[in-house]
Amino acid sequence: MEKLEILTASAKYDVACTSSGSDRKGQAGSLGNTTAMGICHSFAADGRCISLLKVLMTNACVYDCAYCINRKSNPARRAAFTPEEIADLTMQFYRRNYIEGLFLSSGIMRNPDYTTEQLIAALELLRNVYHFNGYIHVKAIPGADDALLSRLGLLADRMSVNIELPSQASLGVLAPDKSKVSILKPMGLIKNRITENRSDIVKYNHAPRFAPAGQSTQMIVGASPDTDYQILNLTEGLYKKYSLKRVFFSAYTPVIEDSLLPSLDTKPPLLREHRLYQADWLLRFYGFQASELLDEAVPNFNPLLDPKCSWAINHREQFPVEINRAPYEMLLRVPGIGVRSAQRIIKARRAGALDFHALKKLGVVLKRAQFFIICKGKPLEGLRVSEHTLLRSLMSGQQLAPFLPQQYEQMTLFDDQYLAALPSAPATTATAATGVAGTGGLSGFELKEGAEA
């Protein structure tokens, strides 16, 4: 049990299947504890929430990454599971219906190859001896031999290689044992093996599947001075070049005193993490490009507005949108209209012209959308548009209150101090029009077309 306590606690800072930064402890008379370790939650392709045993093979590591609680120089309690113990533990939890799968990572024991061999041994026991057919997410170790990574991918449903930091400069300062080549190379290998495996499955019915749930990665937010623009540009590049299923963002939680890192009393930048997840959603499902959301002139998201609303305010020349004629792609850019409501609008307007009452029934959030749309050539009756009215409708004081300085808790969010923080429309429009931010490069990890991954 001591091993399990140590190695589940050491794994909790990896957010590739869960949220980060919450430290609410259990209370008498209440159920649940956000600081509990060991079991995390992920979501299946059909939307089901599944429980995973989240654990490290070992928290001993030969690397000395400044931001990591498991770094070599940190005087922490160390422990290690054998492959047999990992397999047995997983099966015991599964048989008791505690979990439906396994999330397995590890510190670097001896070297990347030896560590990967231990991971393979554990998964081979689960798959071939215990015939475990549940979900397995495993961390690929940068620097491991290609043949070992290929074997690992045939045993796991999903693989992930954590970039951790969004620029080569930050990586060199905070994680000198790692390099962009060692991180991007296994990503390229996994992508190629997944592509090859799809061809094999077409030819051979019983061909083994290689990481059928794809690959993902994680970036730490707030441990380095990198901007949201750098993070989002890299995210876009990773999706395009390596076909990642998901990029996760982890608000840095200070756990180690180091002059290179934020002080221990620094709060995790949870709102910034949230804005990056919203922007990631816009890239994946709404047809936005990173260069439309941020650029070198405005490199960080406004904490008081979600990225879609901020873009709409800075591109008022594209609005209002006529709901009954606008193409699907433009509907997606209207604040308050999501993917499902846009699809419903396209379907419903075939039967007749829509009005604002109909839009509300279709799931459109009129509180936000009303400023950017018209129906049958007319705006919402009685709508009064002013800067303060617009911003008041787009911001949520209740959601933002925990993140604002305490002295402003009883005051309006619309003081000049906060209004001044909003990016000006002309500057953002101009920089976006000239393409300052580029087209989804790999930021500090840039690779030339055709370069070896």
Where do we find the tokens 């009005």?
Answer: 355
Binned at pLDDT 50, 70 and 90, residue 33 comes out as very low
What domains appear along the chain, each with residue ranges and CATH number? Answer: 2-17+36-227 (3.20.20.70), 307-395+423-428 (no CATH)
pLDDT of residue 50: 65
38 pLDDT tier (thresholds 50, 70, 90): low
Predicted TM-score (pTM) of this structure: 0.80
- What is the reported pLDDT for 171? 93
Q: Tell me which residue of 67, 123, 54, 113 sits closest to 268, measured CA to CA.
A: 67
What phi and psi, each to the nearest 5 degrees, are found at residue 78?
A: -110, 150
Q: With a cut of 80, say whether residue 191 has pLDDT above it.
A: yes
The arithmetic mean of pLDDT across residues 324-343, rounded, is 98
Q: Which pLDDT band, with edges at 50, 70 and 90, does 124 fall under?
A: very high
* Average pLDDT of the chain, as a whole number: 83
Average pLDDT over residues 344-349: 97
Q: How far apart are CA 346 and CA 401, in angstroms?
A: 37
Task: Tell me what pLDDT residue 121 has.
Answer: 97
